[in-house]
A and B are shown apart, each in its own frame.
Chain A
Amino acid sequence: MASTVTPNGFSLDDSGQRVVVDPICRIEGHLRIEVNLDESNTIRNAVSTGNMWRGLEVILKGRDPRDAWAFVERICGVCTGVHALASVRTVEDALGIDIPRNANSIRNLMMLSQYTQDHLVHFYHLHALDWVDVVSALNADPAATSQLQQSISSWRNSSPGYFRDVQNKLKRFVESGQLGPFANAYWGSDAYRLPAEANLMAVAHYLEALDFQKEIVKIHTIFGGRNPHPNWIVGGVPCSINVDQVGATGTVHMTWLNMVSDIINQSIEFIDKVYIPDLKAIASFYKDWGYGGGLAGKNMLSYGDFPLIANQWDNESLALPAGAIINGDLSTVHEVDTRDLEQIQEFVNHSWYSYDDESRGLHPWEGVTEPNFELGPNLKGTKTNIQEIDEGAKYSWLKAPRWKGHAMEVGPLSRFVIAYALGREDVKELVDSTLSELGLPLPALFSTLGRTAARGLECTWSAHKMREVFDDMMANLKAGDVATANMDMWEPSTWPGDVKGVGMVEAPRGALGHWIHIKDRKIENYQAIVPSTWNASPRDPAGNIGAYEASLLGTPLVNAEQPLEILRTIHSFDPCLACASH
């Protein structure tokens, strides 16, 4: 190949040194990244390989559509619940089922708490170590750390003594010689820029966030019985509400509602006093590290989510709007029709699947999932010992989804940019104030750091949104409506013989769609296109590269042996490979 330009405008050159990172850790699932570096250690070619496939779409065939949510929920335990929600929405769409207002509020609350927890865990436990040097925290001055903490927020744990304790723990941990999850990382790399005090503060919050995240998901536990993998039903939610009648404590009752309210308050406090100040503090040291854009700012997609009016799916109702941006033109937000057979399609000519005609894409209603593991002639290694993959042939367990032929980036950044472009005040305010605080222009968002920042802003957005949704639900309960499920179409005997449906969710990582074909009361075909399928997509027949691959191009590595920059950019998408390939 040597050097080419892709139809979506990226130059690829596979002539230089090949660097392989497999496994990419601190993500969900199994991902391999290969890049080619030029003489200046700058990435000129990038290859993203999905390393796993389980066959959920095959397994679902012939099953009861009402059970599907439980199967697809197991697509991922990190973004737990999102596939289940997409599934019940899909079935409800196919059968024409409207859900009660409370069910809509509860679903919104569960998804918003999912955002809050998932984003928080991603930032501290999966992503922070790309920016924070744990070992350097050993040299911090606890008093200065305390000052730093107090200067950026009013969070309660801020005394010099507190940070000294954390540092001492860390010291003994390191001295024990058993470094556990911190062993063998790229510590000391020149790519790390934070002062020791900021590192120490971040380490303290790593530990605090680990303890706190489990509180947020208790909203799932109350309404869905547990987390991970809460329960759902077609037609509403499985929990009943009884605030003042006989037997109330046998179901969702006043005490639990109070607890939900409490969790919302705590979440808002933690996100606003810990996560957001940390994010800004860290970002201020990496402002000029502007790499990792790729498709960001060019091609972005959101299906929209959080219908504030039950069963209404337009931008009037959706708290996060739907739309697509193409070729970087923020002035036009295109409408997305997930039912149009020509708009969303999946290609497999670089994927380990087969179609009858692989030059064409298939809309998910016509989708086919037929595995076909086959390696290209330029492979280095053997079938069961891949040293360097041949991206000229099939090279990933992910299909390649495209919108009107375009590779798209999805995720918090896409959602926020689309909301911004549509003039949504809440989002604009968050984005503008953050950018002005950091002294950055809007295009600075279209980068690794922008992706990470958007996720943080969305986290505070969702924590606050929970309050709004909760209050709205309480008002509805006060008005006497306690219904949580519509069971009119529960019995399969009431269903039409042959129907299709589509259900969308904006999952933490981006646009998620499930498509179903129900025939004779059984699943005839079930297809999912998942956020990480979009972002980690392999190439398509036209040669367009996906968001991961595009984002890595042009990034210089400080040290090819320690490809920290690759981790940074890939982690900024919050990859989920179990999701992506399913």
Chain B
Amino acid sequence: MAVHETLYEVMRQHGITRRSFLKFCSLTAAGLGMGPEFAGKLAHALETKPRTPVIWLHGLECTCCTESFIRSGNPLAGDVILSMISLDYDDTLMAAAGHQAEELLEQTIEKYDGQYVLACEGNPPLNEDGMYCIQGGIPYVEKLKHMADHCKAIVAWGSCASWGCVQAAKPNPTRAVPIHKVIRDKPIVKVPGCPPIAEVMTGVLTYMIAFDRLPPLDRQGRPLMFYSQRLHDKCYRRPHFDAGQFVERFDDEGARKGYCLYKVGCKGPTTYNACSTVEWNDGLSWPVKSGHGCIGCAENDFWDKGSFYSAVTTAGFSAGAEATADKVGGVLAGAAAIGVAAHAAASVVSHMTGKQSEESSNG
């Protein structure tokens, strides 16, 4: 094996000047919401650390986390893949195939036992002994566990790896489960979203590599730096929400003026993600900005919370007969009112017949 080079050396070799390297550091720092002193630290870290091997596995998924990743503008995905990390395995992008590809997994374990980052996109199904996702003839869940055994830390890309996502929506026919349900002895950083924002993905990776530690996480294992606020908290349509100015249906007057999308189902008030601040595709737009409410794609089980077009309290009690809390409650309250009325009527009848019988027995 050749001598390790630092990330900075590799970047220099790739023709990146020190000036643009430092610019990259300060942009990254700003992207993470940190000050200029952080940029200095980042630069220092990148100058002294060797490239970290990353093994990127794919389970049941749609691969749009990878697609999102390669949209990263800052840093560019190409720079991440070729200069900042060593992407030693990723079946979507790697040149090798078949057993030559699978050999690379064992080579990585041999060379970097306990040192590589395991990036997981998609998730393993458990039904049918795992054979709803087969790789090299064996169940994906076996490959995942094997690679997890030797890794340093796991990054769970997207809502699939973090929560289960669409294949785990009711009735979850393959019993697809998030990574933390099968790997319990390794640190896991969840980067949810269906898919996550490109710069959030590269931001998390860069942080881990630059500082050689996991980013601070919230109660559910998500990096605080990107997932500590709801979209609603920083939505540019928020003044319309507070004012009570809503889009009532798509393409109405309010829609053309950019009113709040709450009434057409926006889940921004219950969704933790960085869309309203970082935005998508080089900060160009995000779902709400282009007129569709947030569907809550970074949230646990967002598929099973009922229609994407009704206000926040819709609940999928079951995939089939879903009902809103308001509907259920309204029915209960109606039933209570009817019950009370019936009971009152019965009481009157009972009271009168009771009087009669009392009278007759007394008399």
User: Is there a contact between chains A and B in the complex with CB atoms less than 8 Å apart?
Assistant: yes
Q: Which of these binds chain A: B79-87, B147-155, B207-215?
A: B79-87
**Contact assessment for A381 and B137 in the assembled complex, using a CB-CB cutoff below 8 Å:** yes
Max chain A Cβ within 10 angstroms of own Cβ: one of B67, B280, B284: B67
- Cα distance A29–B2 when bound, in Å? 33
- Cα distance A339–B288 when bound, in Å? 36
Q: Which residue of A lies closest to B251 (CB)?
A: A485
Name the distance in Å between A394's Cβ and chain B's nearest Cβ: 12
**Contact assessment for A178 and B53 in the assembled complex, using a CB-CB cutoff below 8 Å:** yes
Name the distance in Å between A141's Cβ and chain B's nearest Cβ: 19
- Taking CB atoms, residues of chain B closer than 8 Å to A178 are 2, 51, 53, 86, 88
| Range, interface on chain B | 35 or more
- Cα distance A214–B74 when bound, in Å? 12
Name the distance in Å between A187's Cβ and chain B's nearest Cβ: 8
Q: Does A484 contact B (CB under 8 A)?
A: yes
**Contact assessment for B307 and A251 in the assembled complex, using a CB-CB cutoff below 8 Å:** no
- Cα distance A222–B137 when bound, in Å? 42
- Taking CB atoms, residues of chain B closer than 8 Å to A21 are 97-98
- Cα distance A480–B117 when bound, in Å? 55
Given A242-B256, A483-B251, decide whether A228 and B68 contact each other with a Cβ distance below 8 A. Answer: yes
Kindly identify, within residues 29 to 81 of chain A, every residue whose CB is under 8 Å from any CB belonging to chain B.
Answer: 29-30, 32, 49, 51-56, 58-59, 61-64, 66-67, 70-71, 74-78, 80
Q: Which of B165, B292, B319 contacts A74 (CB 8 A)?
A: B165
**Contact assessment for A221 and B290 in the assembled complex, using a CB-CB cutoff below 8 Å:** yes
Q: Which of A28, A225, A397 contacts B286 (CB 8 A)?
A: A225
Q: Does B95 contact A (CB under 8 A)?
A: yes
Q: Which residue of B lies closest to A237 (CB)?
A: B291
**Contact assessment for A76 and B95 in the assembled complex, using a CB-CB cutoff below 8 Å:** no
**Contact assessment for A59 and B170 in the assembled complex, using a CB-CB cutoff below 8 Å:** yes
- Taking CB atoms, residues of chain B closer than 8 Å to A193 are none
- Taking CB atoms, residues of chain A closer than 8 Å to B65 are 77
- Cα distance A228–B19 when bound, in Å? 32
**Contact assessment for A251 and B258 in the assembled complex, using a CB-CB cutoff below 8 Å:** yes
- Cα distance A116–B166 when bound, in Å? 27
**Contact assessment for A23 and B97 in the assembled complex, using a CB-CB cutoff below 8 Å:** yes
Q: Does A334 contact B (CB under 8 A)?
A: no
Kindly identify, within residues 283 to 323 of chain B, every residue whose CB is under 8 Å from any CB belonging to chain A.
Answer: 284-292, 295, 297, 303, 306-309, 318-322
- Taking CB atoms, residues of chain B closer than 8 Å to A517 are none
**Contact assessment for B137 and A386 in the assembled complex, using a CB-CB cutoff below 8 Å:** yes
**Contact assessment for B171 and A385 in the assembled complex, using a CB-CB cutoff below 8 Å:** no
Q: Mark A344-383, 1 if CB is under 8 A from B, else 0.
A: 0000000000000000000000000001010000000101
Q: Which of B13, B92, B131, B137 contacts A25 (CB 8 A)?
A: B92
**Contact assessment for A183 and B1 in the assembled complex, using a CB-CB cutoff below 8 Å:** no
Q: Does B47 contact A (CB under 8 A)?
A: no
Q: Which of B70, B174, B198 contacts A210 (CB 8 A)?
A: B70
Given A129-B95, A227-B280, A483-B251, decide whether A169 and B292 contact each other with a Cβ distance below 8 A. Answer: no
Q: Does B233 contact A (CB under 8 A)?
A: no
- Taking CB atoms, residues of chain A closer than 8 Å to B85 are 180
Q: Which of A22, A67, A134, A168 contacts B308 (CB 8 A)?
A: A67
Q: Which residue of A lies closest to B129 (CB)?
A: A384
- Taking CB atoms, residues of chain B closer than 8 Å to A384 are 129-131, 138-139, 142
Q: Does B195 contact A (CB under 8 A)?
A: yes
- Taking CB atoms, residues of chain A closer than 8 Å to B101 are 23, 25, 184
Q: Which of B72, B94, B139, B165 contacts A183 (CB 8 A)?
A: B94
- Taking CB atoms, residues of chain A closer than 8 Å to B60 are 52, 54
**Contact assessment for A59 and B167 in the assembled complex, using a CB-CB cutoff below 8 Å:** yes
**Contact assessment for A22 and B258 in the assembled complex, using a CB-CB cutoff below 8 Å:** no
Name the distance in Å between B259's Cβ and chain A's nearest Cβ: 8
Name the distance in Å between B171's Cβ and chain A's nearest Cβ: 7
- Cα distance A62–B321 when bound, in Å? 8
**Contact assessment for B280 and A371 in the assembled complex, using a CB-CB cutoff below 8 Å:** no
- Cα distance A567–B65 when bound, in Å? 24
- Taking CB atoms, residues of chain A closer than 8 Å to B174 are 53-55
**Contact assessment for B98 and A23 in the assembled complex, using a CB-CB cutoff below 8 Å:** yes
Kindly identify, within residues 173 to 195 of chain A, every residue whose CB is under 8 Å from any CB belonging to chain B.
Answer: 173, 175-178, 180-187
**Contact assessment for A59 and B257 in the assembled complex, using a CB-CB cutoff below 8 Å:** no
Question: How many chain A residues have a CB neighbour from B under 8 Å?
Answer: 111
Q: Does B281 contact A (CB under 8 A)?
A: yes
Q: Which residue of B lies closest to A187 (CB)?
A: B95
**Contact assessment for B15 and A169 in the assembled complex, using a CB-CB cutoff below 8 Å:** yes
- Taking CB atoms, residues of chain B closer than 8 Å to A168 are 13, 15
- Taking CB atoms, residues of chain B closer than 8 Å to A175 are 2
Q: Mark A534-545, 1 if CB is under 8 A from B, else 0.
A: 000000000000
- Taking CB atoms, residues of chain B closer than 8 Å to A55 are 167, 172-174
- Cα distance A434–B115 when bound, in Å? 50
Q: Does A428 contact B (CB under 8 A)?
A: no
**Contact assessment for A578 and B63 in the assembled complex, using a CB-CB cutoff below 8 Å:** yes
Q: Which of A32, A49, A231 contacts B292 (CB 8 A)?
A: A231
Q: Which of A76, A182, A229, A236 contacts B251 (CB 8 A)?
A: A236
- Cα distance A259–B65 when bound, in Å? 25
Q: Which of B5, B130, B237, B287 contacts A231 (CB 8 A)?
A: B287
**Contact assessment for A225 and B280 in the assembled complex, using a CB-CB cutoff below 8 Å:** yes
**Contact assessment for A225 and B95 in the assembled complex, using a CB-CB cutoff below 8 Å:** no
Q: Does A213 contact B (CB under 8 A)?
A: yes
Q: Which of A129, A373, A578 contacts B62 (CB 8 A)?
A: A578
Q: Does A125 contact B (CB under 8 A)?
A: yes
Q: Which of A74, A371, A387 contacts B173 (CB 8 A)?
A: A371
**Contact assessment for A22 and B136 in the assembled complex, using a CB-CB cutoff below 8 Å:** yes
Given A22-B98, A70-B308, decide whether A177 and B2 contact each other with a Cβ distance below 8 A. Answer: yes
- Cα distance A56–B319 when bound, in Å? 13
Q: Which residue of B lies closest to A224 (CB)?
A: B290
- Cα distance A259–B101 when bound, in Å? 41
- Taking CB atoms, residues of chain A closer than 8 Å to B94 are 25-26, 181-183, 185
**Contact assessment for B5 and A176 in the assembled complex, using a CB-CB cutoff below 8 Å:** yes
- Cα distance A232–B85 when bound, in Å? 36
Q: Which of B81, B103, B303 contacts A181 (CB 8 A)?
A: B81
- Cα distance A233–B176 when bound, in Å? 28
**Contact assessment for B13 and A172 in the assembled complex, using a CB-CB cutoff below 8 Å:** yes
Q: Which of B100, B129, B303 contacts A383 (CB 8 A)?
A: B129
- Taking CB atoms, residues of chain B closer than 8 Å to A218 are 281-282, 284
**Contact assessment for A64 and B13 in the assembled complex, using a CB-CB cutoff below 8 Å:** no
Q: Which residue of B lies closest to A213 (CB)?
A: B70
Q: Does A235 contact B (CB under 8 A)?
A: yes
**Contact assessment for B255 and A251 in the assembled complex, using a CB-CB cutoff below 8 Å:** yes
**Contact assessment for A59 and B171 in the assembled complex, using a CB-CB cutoff below 8 Å:** yes
Name the distance in Å between A87's Cβ and chain B's nearest Cβ: 13
Max chain A Cβ within 10 angstroms of own Cβ: one of B86, B170, B198, B321: B86
- Cα distance A231–B127 when bound, in Å? 32
Given A178-B86, A221-B285, A384-B142, decide whether A240 and B95 contact each other with a Cβ distance below 8 A. Answer: no
Known: A77-B62, A181-B95, A251-B291. 20 other contacts (CB 8 A): A20-B98, A26-B91, A51-B133, A55-B174, A66-B308, A67-B309, A76-B64, A180-B88, A185-B94, A214-B282, A220-B281, A226-B290, A238-B291, A240-B250, A249-B258, A251-B256, A371-B128, A384-B139, A487-B252, A563-B98
Chosen A-B contacts, 19 in total, with CB atoms closer than 8 Å, are A23-B98, A25-B95, A26-B92, A30-B134, A51-B134, A59-B166, A173-B82, A176-B10, A181-B81, A181-B93, A185-B94, A225-B290, A226-B275, A229-B194, A245-B257, A247-B258, A250-B237, A487-B252, A490-B250
List the interface of chain B (C-beta within 8 A of A).
1-3, 5, 10, 13-15, 51, 53, 58, 60-68, 70-73, 76-78, 81-82, 85-88, 90-98, 100-104, 125, 128-140, 142, 165-167, 169-174, 176, 194-195, 198, 237, 249-252, 255-259, 275, 280-282, 284-292, 295, 297, 303, 306-309, 318-322
What are the 8 A-B residue pairs with the smallest beta carbon separation, nearest first? A250-B258, A77-B64, A177-B2, A247-B257, A185-B95, A225-B290, A62-B320, A231-B292
